[in-house]
Structure 1
């Protein structure tokens, strides 16, 4: 039993003022395991009494006993909005996510709990639960749905003309910026299979599809991955092989196959992650762009308090294409901040800068391409709303790509109205 586990026995009394008779009847109902009766009795209390944190905490406990986990999550999230909410509320919320098989949300809340000033008393138990989640043997699924108005679906220029060797050429509508509304669906499934000791085989697949107003810009991919995952002391390491098939505009676009490795360490306030990969990218119809892509990444997440964390990410990649004009170096730096807000909201804000430099100029370009993209992503999550496990969110991403070649310069604003679920 973990140190914050709610006991089966009812509290001796409700600290919030309530009629003695109701309090006594609630206690008797809980002793009998009549959770529904106890909840009905609490709902009969005067509004100002029923809203007391102590009463709401008991109602969340009763909701869990009745299998109404979404209701319990809603109550816990609301309780956490108050100043000085006890650590136990955060831990009970994390436990409820575990019961709902939402490991990502559970891990997120356990890590926020570790950043609390009261965390030392429960640190060992929380870190044990985090490792238990990491080693859990079962299927994991995630689903994300979104409607996305986009000012630049095809990430193209606003320019109407392009100069080639000093001569003006009109750009077609397909080559210029096109706005639209996309409907996106992304889903993944992963299975952890025990091998020997703390080594496991991870097998998974994923799919993502974007249906845009114009079929010419529809985008989709399917992928599979598999590989061993094992522990090196307190660090978790993994190696996997992956394949992906991509379609664009209703036609096959490319195939990708490769190997990757990652290392994750840190179970307290600071978590670090590093990854390396090598992939072969093969296009169906575009000559010269087939390439080997080598990539490396590192990120650090620091939980500052029970309501805030920040993340720093650094990524780099090298593309070795068949022709020099398609070979490139890429570097990206991002930093993000997560903050809980009133009314059950939470926000994540992440600015980033990406630099891409190509080795040589293309046939129709006066010089090698040099791009710098500036982006700002914002996501607002309604933490206390859940319907059949789905949580709603609103997101926005603004970006501007500066290029030494006019045809590659563009700006873009995309909004996302979606819902996500992991189980």
Structure 2
């Protein structure tokens, strides 16, 4: 089979294709009639004219058939045209899944990655959109294509509408309550025996998380955002449930090559069936491209925490972070994030200062996305708590590795597997723990 090579060249495909056979246009068959004995060029022509005649179901049927062709150029062309048709219909998630399937086979398809970036941005996932853009810029681009990429970069600084995301997983863990495994706890009075519920417990949980984002443009360089997010882990014994819900209202301000995002919000956290804490926050973040392959994001925040069960923990929270992300190729990249937090509580024993460094690496391997993170944290309290002989001092290490398996995609969702190890060494036995956990679930496939 042959196909028109023009679009494939624009896609950035590296496989040379034969010149198209010069044939008369194939007649557009009656709706519902089978199509046989035609070349790929003729099939694409029929699909194009079917789109023009608003016979989108017939065009989609042709693209789906051509997407199973043994010739890779034909498959990719069919998926791309199908994706463009779906995007015009507003079916962004389906279009993004098709673009991702092309990139799994042809990671150098710059045009496809740009289209994916545009879809992700339109769906509100600016972080993933910028990462896709970095992957495009990690390759050598002709000057005219580089100009197109720059326009996409500008577009990502002023995007809009509505997006929603969902992840659902089963979550086995060796320590669902992040508790010590010791049977007794040293105090200034005497060793205390710990109940079973106060010690490390293993279990199997269900772990949903999701987000809804609304974005309303006010001007070309200014947008209003509203975000609702939530996550939780639920166990058979409800006293170990851990849930967080948050609402946030903010602005997105494009300033040259930077994007500023001031916001205010409130979060709620429940342990078991009781409200544990509420926190009001004020945050300002700024992101900027650094060259063509990297981006930097800086964030600072202030919060006021109200702990419902212990007023001595109430107080102010100050946070700051800087992150640098770089694409090393069209299939791989990584980031480094350094952050700090200062919590000033009513009781100096609960006042803490902490710092964390985190490394992230990601790679696309065939039809799978692999990722790994490693972090190191240091925490120190201002004073000892009245019950314990030592001031709280901790080192915490954590590592996570996982993969999204897009070869098993169903309706835009793909399996997700993730494993985490965490070890917190603390001078106060109550906070000394280790855990090994896993998530096996579904997430979006693009």
More deviation, 296-305/109-118: 109-118
Does the 8 Å contact 1:141/1:422 carry over to 2? no
Deviant stretches of 4+, over 6 Å: 68-72, 98-102
Residue aligned with 2:313, SS: coil
Given the alignment, which residue of 378, 386, 408 partners 1:363?
Answer: 386
Which residue pairs with 1:22 in the alignment? Answer: 39
Given the alignment, which residue of 413, 416, 419 partners 2:439?
Answer: 416
Which residue pairs with 1:202 in the alignment? Answer: 225
**Could you list the runs of 5+ residues in structure 1 that have no partner in the other structure?**
none
Superposed CA offset, 1:101-140 (max 9, x none): 7665444323211111236542221232233234222122
Give 1:247 shift. Answer: 1.5
Residue aligned with 2:387, SS: coil
**How many pairs align?**
408
Q: Which has the higher contact order (CA 8 A, sep 6+)?
A: 1
Give 1:345 shift. Answer: 0.8
Alignment map for 1:50-65 (pairs within 5 Å): 50-64=69-83
Given the alignment, which residue of 184, 209, 219 partners 1:186?
Answer: 209
Partner Cα separation in structure 2 for residue 119 and residue 308 of structure 1: 21
Partner Cα separation in structure 2 for residue 25 and residue 98 of structure 1: 34
More deviation, 307-316/382-391: 382-391
Partner Cα separation in structure 2 for residue 422 and residue 139 of structure 1: 19
Residue aligned with 1:357, SS: strand
TM-score, length-scaled by structure 1: 0.86
Partner Cα separation in structure 2 for residue 81 and residue 197 of structure 1: 34
Query: Is it true that 1:249 corresponds to 2:272 in the alignment?
Result: yes
Give 1:421 shift. Answer: 3.9
Closer/same/farther in 2, CA of residues 422 and 243 from structure 1, 3 Å limit: farther
Which residue pairs with 1:13 in the alignment? Answer: 20
Closer/same/farther in 2, CA of residues 101 and 387 from structure 1, 3 Å limit: farther
Superposed CA offset, 1:3-60 (max 9, x none): 9479xxxx9628xxxx9953453254245236256447647xxx8xx32221111221
Partner Cα separation in structure 2 for residue 65 and residue 264 of structure 1: 30
More deviation, 83-92/395-404: 83-92
CA RMSD in angstroms, aligned pairs only: 3.1
Partner Cα separation in structure 2 for residue 181 and residue 239 of structure 1: 38
Which residue pairs with 1:283 in the alignment? Answer: 307
Partner Cα separation in structure 2 for residue 242 and residue 100 of structure 1: 22
Query: Is it true that 1:395 corresponds to 2:418 in the alignment?
Result: yes
Give 1:203 shift. Answer: 1.9
Partner Cα separation in structure 1 for residue 19 and residue 212 of structure 2: 45
More deviation, 232-241/159-168: 159-168
Partner Cα separation in structure 2 for residue 118 and residue 412 of structure 1: 46
Residue aligned with 1:116, SS: coil
Superposed CA offset, 1:178-216 (max 9, x none): 111111222222222233451222222222232123211
Alignment map for 1:269-348 (pairs within 5 Å): 269-342=293-366, 344-348=367-371
Partner Cα separation in structure 1 for residue 320 and residue 430 of structure 2: 29
Closer/same/farther in 2, CA of residues 253 and 194 from structure 1, 3 Å limit: same
Superposed CA offset, 1:235-273 (max 9, x none): 111211111222211011111112111111117311000
Partner Cα separation in structure 2 for residue 20 and residue 244 of structure 1: 62
Partner Cα separation in structure 2 for residue 388 and residue 41 of structure 1: 18
